[in-house]
Amino acid sequence: MAVEHGGEQAPPDAAAPDGETDPESSDVLQSVPLPLEGGESESLRTVLVAFVANVLIAVAKTAAAVLTGSASLVAEAAHSWADSGNEIFLLMADRRSRQPADRTHPMGYGREAYVWSLFAALGLFVAGAVVSVSQGIGELVRPEPASNFRIGYIVLAVSFVLEGISFLRSVRQAKPEAESMQRDLIDHVLATSDPTLRAVFAEDAAALVGVLLAAAGLGLHELTGSPIPDAVGSILIGVLLGFVAIVLINRNRRFLVGQEADPRVRAAAIRALLAAPEVARVTYLRLEVVGPRMVFVTGDVDLTGDDPEPRLAYRLRALEARISASPAVVGAVLSLSAPDEPTLEA
């Protein structure tokens, strides 16, 4: 494997001088709890399942909204169309973030995932939250009675089942990842570097709650004969979508500006480096998230022995190669520690 250093590939023979081979060529971070491999394909399937479900639901809710005149169903139709459009952004996020690294982007295009996921979250806010709240307020100002309630109940029931299938798909993906990272499910969804998983999980969870709010508003409308509960249901759906959108926007913002990996992962990486026979001290270490399940490692280390500078350079490149051998590491750049710098505590 070629060694990544400062965006350029080191020469093939830089790992060991004079034709020597490095006896410690294994992944130095193999004991670090980095995200599971294969998550990219799992995320793609999760988004595709969500997209198909949301399109079917959006068509059904739109027809039901026209037939019933329910404000809650209009809000839910807007919600589902927003989710359907968002899945296209998430598919773009998944595809573009997988582009291989090149000279202009030596750390790859992983952060593209956060850009397109940010667009999806903004779409959820505008096309979902704003439309739903506006519809509810309009219904309060100019109330209109609904009809054909049974159609609305049937569509909401079918929607709940389809949303549940999509939600369970995201749960099945998130659960083993959470276990591998030693997090509970919700913590992992909020902390994961995969924005598509977080978006689908959050949107489907909000959709299930939204269906219940719409059903309650529609039911109270039928029971009381007043469209006010239906309008309130629409407003509550909009507030729920706005909250979810703000959370997603904030998470994508953090990764775009350069978020470090989980502190437990960093501590485990420090322990792994200190356990390497050629490392005497680790005085600086940063694992920056540069895309879904991708980190770039920078650090300062003190190597054992008292080798001359050319030999130290070869040994440092070999250590970078061992770190970069981890599937989750897109590259590593190490420098030598100053003599007076204390070692980091894991």
User: What is the per-residue pLDDT across 232-279, written as a single tens digit (0 to 9) for each?
Assistant: 999 999 999 999 999 999 999 999 998 898 888 899 899 999 989 999
Return the pLDDT at 236. Answer: 94
In the DSSP assignment, the letter for residue 260 is B
Phi-psi region of 18 (alpha: psi -120 to 50; beta: other; left: phi over 0): left
Q: What pLDDT is attached to residue 263?
A: 87
Q: Cβ of 139: how many Cβ atoms within 10 Å?
A: 27
pLDDT tens digits for range 44-102: 888 888 888 889 999 999 999 898 888 888 888 888 898 888 888 888 888 888 888 88
Q: Comparing 4-8, 32-36, 186-190, 308-312, which segment has the lowest mean pLDDT?
A: 4-8
- Pairwise CA distance, residues 325 & 221, whole Å: 61
Q: State mean pLDDT over 98-112.
A: 85
As a whole number of angstroms, the distance between CA 111 and CA 292 comes to: 8
Report the mean per-residue pLDDT for the chain: 85
Mean pLDDT calculated for residue range 285-293? 91
Higher pLDDT, 331 or 39: 331
Q: Which residue has the higher pLDDT, 186 or 7?
A: 186
Give residues with Cβ within 8 angstroms of 229, minimum separation 6.
216, 217, 220, 221
Question: pLDDT tens for residues 19-42?
Answer: 343 444 567 777 676 655 455 667
Mapped onto helix, strand or coil, the DSSP state of residue 23 is coil
Contacts of 176 (CB under 8 A, 6+ apart): 36
Position 12 pLDDT exceeds 60: no
Kindly indicate the confidence band of residue 127, based on its pLDDT and cuts at 50, 70 and 90.
confident
Confidence of residue 161 (pLDDT cuts 50, 70, 90): very high
Question: Could you give the dihedral angle defined by the CA atoms of residues 196, 248, 83 and 184, in that order, rounded to the nearest 10 degrees?
Answer: 60
Give the pLDDT of residue 62: 92
Q: How many CB atoms lie within 10 A of CB 23?
A: 9
Q: Using the predicted structure, report yes or no on whether residue 5 has a pLDDT greater than 90.
A: no
